[in-house]
A and B are shown apart, each in its own frame.
Chain A
Amino acid sequence: MKMWKIGLVLAALAVLAGVPWYGSDVLIQFGINALLLAVLAQGWNIIGGYTGYASFGNSVFYGLGGYGVAIAMVQWQLPFAVGMGFGVVLAVVFAVLLGIPVLRLKGHYFAIATLALSQVMTAIVSNVGIAGQNIGLVLPPLNNDPLFYELSLGLLTIATLTIWGMTRSRFGFGLIAIRENEEGAAVMGVNTTLYKVMAFALSGIFSALAGGIHAYWVTFLDPASAFDISLNVKMIIMAVFGGPGTVLGPIVGALTLSTISEFLSSEVTSIAGLFFGLVIVVAVVLMPRGLADMLRRMRKMGWGYFIENIRAHRL
């Protein structure tokens, strides 16, 4: 990476880290949400962007992370950090137990199977006594938004550094090979089953940690909000909008879309969803491979880039 790029990233990080000192309460709260969504988009990036398995089950990890924290703190009176660890353990166990059968499926079938998993989780957890059944759990409140903000930013930084390290490692190349041609990767000696499960678990760890922070922050958790499928759709849209399979794309996508969404809901309130949908449609038509791809190819092709994409859609 070039020096100016590193400088730019560090400057952006400093600006983000400083928000609690100069930003309003509303901005901090918006920031926590946006950063946690960015972590989820990064988590999805590992399994969906790099490995090529479009998972609709990542919201399960998010929910398990939340329940890990809630059960540890409410039922067992353990500290928050232990709860986070418990959530990660739940996510990894889930990723390994269900990843081994489900990751045998490809394409749409994998997407449908993971979608089903996330729907089933709501029903299962509603019947688990220790998880508060369908009433949910109320966590001890901690009124410290700047702390939650910095925790979220720290988690996003760790997730991004992990992905950056991954793209330069043998493991990362193995995942990309699986995405490009799974049979070819297997023939070249990549242990595809192990790698896919590891990618699924790694993606789950970050999603679970995001879920844990969110649960403690909002101090309430019930099955419907913990395993919300629309969250999964959101993380995919954000990762794809920014550029799946790139290190910074999902962050840019998450922050951009969160900002647009927030702006729309304060400006046009009731029909914000309509305008947000319009933004997504325009993005899909003009830059189907994400912002990262657009920035790279705009330099070479100029405005012709958009024209080519429009033609590819036969509009």
Chain B
Amino acid sequence: MSGKTHRTPLLKVENLSAGYGGMHVLHDITLEVYPAEMVALVGSNGAGKTTLLRALSRILPCTGSIVMNGHELSGMTPDQAFGLGLVQVPEGRQLFDRMTVQDNLLMGSYRRQDKAAVARDLDKIYSMFPRLTERRRQLAGSMSGGEQQMCAMARALMAAPVLMMVDEMSLGLAPVVVEQLMEMLAAIQRDGVTVLLVEQDVQLALSGADRAYVMETGRIVHQGLAKVLIDDPAVQQAYWGL
């Protein structure tokens, strides 16, 4: 963490609180994400990870401040935040099942006007995900879970994201598939996209990310370099029962 403090964060969240109705779920969340890094947000079921993502992407109202690239997001609507490059790969993928893979990817570029750049990105993304090239004319809903997750990530990439938030990528997928997806995520990060990875699988997230925040009952309880946290006895005890 030290050594990065002199850089300006891409995303700076301060004292964020949010909830559903009268129930508070998130309490005073403060975190920073720097350009081109991969940050993991880990924690067990019900820790508030997805709620935090929903607040960041403006689907859920919140108090506190969210600043991305110098813009204050807290008063924005979801599509305005999306316009700044805050793109989500939602939990459960949320693909357009009865549309083809190609149409799903094109829906990713829905808000972009520059057709030439969109066509270039489409080619690039197909070369990144050869599996999707084979299946470009197939209905998205008819693919396997791993392929659907790839498709969801590719669709998010088509939106030309600045910050890509990936929610529960590993959910319900075989370990070997998850491994492939992590490699792809690393490639996306090398390409200059900042990644915020939200995961229940603590070991997976910590092995791939640069830094991590650990959440518990709506608060951030640990933070630091992922390779340090992975050996932290407190984290190990809390999540792996060691």
Chain A contact residues, CB within 8 Å of chain B: 170, 173-174, 176-177, 180-181, 183-191
Contact of A186 among B78, B95, B98 (CB under 8 A): B78
Those of B93-139 within 8 Å (CB) of chain A: 94-99, 107-108, 110-111
Q: B110 contacts which chain A residues (CB < 8 A)?
A: 170, 173-174, 177, 188-190
Question: Does B59 lie within 8 Å of A186, measured CB to CB?
Answer: yes
Q: A176 contacts which chain B residues (CB < 8 A)?
A: 99
Question: Does A191 lie within 8 Å of B79, measured CB to CB?
Answer: yes
Question: Does A184 lie within 8 Å of B94, measured CB to CB?
Answer: yes
Give the secondary structure class of A's interface. Answer: helix
Nearest CB of chain A from residue B74's CB, rounded to whole Å: 18
> Beyond A183-B90, A185-B96, A189-B82: 10 further Cβ-contacts under 8 Å?
A173-B107, A181-B95, A184-B90, A184-B95, A184-B96, A187-B90, A188-B110, A188-B155, A189-B78, A190-B79
State whether the Cβ of B88 lies closer than 8 Å to any Cβ in chain A.
yes
The CA of A191 and the CA of B111, in the complex, are separated in Å by 10
Question: Does B77 lie within 8 Å of A188, measured CB to CB?
Answer: no
Question: Does A189 lie within 8 Å of B159, measured CB to CB?
Answer: yes
Contact of A183 among B83, B94, B97 (CB under 8 A): B94
Name 14 interchain pairs, CB-CB below 8 A, sorted by A: A170-B110, A173-B107, A177-B96, A180-B96, A180-B99, A186-B59, A186-B79, A187-B57, A188-B111, A189-B82, A189-B110, A189-B111, A190-B79, A190-B110
Question: Does B88 lie within 8 Å of A187, measured CB to CB?
Answer: yes
Nearest CB of chain A from residue B228's CB, rounded to whole Å: 33
Question: Does B79 lie within 8 Å of A189, measured CB to CB?
Answer: yes
Q: B78 contacts which chain A residues (CB < 8 A)?
A: 186, 189
Nearest CB of chain B from residue A174's CB, rounded to whole Å: 7
In the complex, per-residue mask of B55-68: 1 if CB is within 8 Å of any chain A CB, else 0: 00101000000000
| Residue among A176, A177, A186, A188 having the largest count of chain B Cβ atoms under 10 Å | A188
Nearest CB of chain B from residue A99's CB, rounded to whole Å: 17
Q: B159 contacts which chain A residues (CB < 8 A)?
A: 188-189
Chain B contact residues, CB within 8 Å of chain A: 57, 59, 77-79, 82-83, 87-88, 90, 94-99, 107-108, 110-111, 155, 159
The CA of A180 and the CA of B110, in the complex, are separated in Å by 15
Q: Can you name the residue of chain B whose Cβ is closest to the Cβ of A186?
A: B78
Q: Can you name the residue of chain B whose Cβ is closest to the Cβ of A174?
A: B110
The CA of A191 and the CA of B97, in the complex, are separated in Å by 20
Which 4 A-B pairs have CB atoms at the shortest separation, nearest pair first?
A: A189-B82, A184-B94, A180-B96, A189-B111
Question: Does B96 lie within 8 Å of A181, measured CB to CB?
Answer: yes
Q: Can you name the residue of chain A whose Cβ is closest to the Cβ of B89?
A: A187
The CA of A191 and the CA of B82, in the complex, are separated in Å by 10
| Residue among B77, B94, B99 having the largest count of chain A Cβ atoms under 10 Å | B94
The CA of A252 and the CA of B54, in the complex, are separated in Å by 44
The CA of A190 and the CA of B110, in the complex, are separated in Å by 8
Nearest CB of chain B from residue A98's CB, rounded to whole Å: 21
The CA of A188 and the CA of B111, in the complex, are separated in Å by 8
Given contacts A177-B107, A180-B97, A181-B97, contact A189 B90 (CB under 8 A): no
| Residue among A174, A181, A190 having the largest count of chain B Cβ atoms under 10 Å | A181
The CA of A188 and the CA of B157, in the complex, are separated in Å by 11
Q: B79 contacts which chain A residues (CB < 8 A)?
A: 186, 189-191
Q: B96 contacts which chain A residues (CB < 8 A)?
A: 177, 180-181, 184-185
Q: Can you name the residue of chain A whose Cβ is closest to the Cβ of B77?
A: A191
Q: B90 contacts which chain A residues (CB < 8 A)?
A: 183-184, 187
Contact of A188 among B59, B97, B107 (CB under 8 A): B107
The CA of A170 and the CA of B111, in the complex, are separated in Å by 9
The CA of A189 and the CA of B59, in the complex, are separated in Å by 11
Q: A183 contacts which chain B residues (CB < 8 A)?
A: 90, 94
Q: A181 contacts which chain B residues (CB < 8 A)?
A: 94-97
Nearest CB of chain B from residue A297's CB, rounded to whole Å: 14
The CA of A189 and the CA of B158, in the complex, are separated in Å by 12
The CA of A189 and the CA of B106, in the complex, are separated in Å by 12
The CA of A84 and the CA of B212, in the complex, are separated in Å by 62
Q: B57 contacts which chain A residues (CB < 8 A)?
A: 187
The CA of A180 and the CA of B106, in the complex, are separated in Å by 14
| Residue among A174, A176, A185, A189 having the largest count of chain B Cβ atoms under 10 Å | A189
